[in-house]
């Protein structure tokens, strides 16, 4: 059984027991959360997707930790103009363990 969810502007394919890093969610470590919009649910090789799901489908999980990703270097330059800029960025994330898919 798996589901496709949308949270933080990104889509994830999740299964019960899986741990996934999503955009930062409000909540303490150990708290239960309901994850985003459910776009599709597959159960027993039968896929349900689209508006037919309605609000019946839910994906719940537990917050395992909050953290920051690896640093990404952003380097800009313009040739012949002596222009160079280096900027680093670390994206915040929340690690969530998928507990249950209802649909």
pLDDT, tens digit (0-9, with 9 covering 90-100), for 13-29: 999 999 999 999 999 99
pTM: 0.81
Residue pair 62/92 in contact (Cβ under 8 Å)? The answer is no
* Each residue's pLDDT tens digit, 31-68: 999 988 899 998 888 888 876 676 788 999 999 999 99
From residue 68, how far is each of 31, 42, 49, 65, 90 by CA, in Å?
Answer: 19, 31, 33, 10, 6
Does position 77 have pLDDT exceeding 70, yes or no? yes
């Amino acid at each position: 059984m798996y589901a496709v969810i949308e949270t933080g502007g990104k889509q994830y394919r999740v299964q019960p027991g899986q741990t996934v890093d999503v955009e930062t969610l409000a909540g303490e470590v150990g708290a239960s959360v309901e994850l985003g919009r459910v776009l599709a649910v597959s159960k027993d090789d039968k896929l349900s997707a689209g508006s037919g799901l309605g609000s019946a489908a839910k994906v719940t999980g537990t917050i395992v930790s909050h953290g920051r990703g690896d640093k990404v270097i952003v380097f800009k330059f313009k040739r012949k103009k002596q222009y160079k800029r280096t900027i680093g960025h670390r994206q915040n994330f929340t690690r969530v363990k998928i507990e249950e898919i209802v649909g």
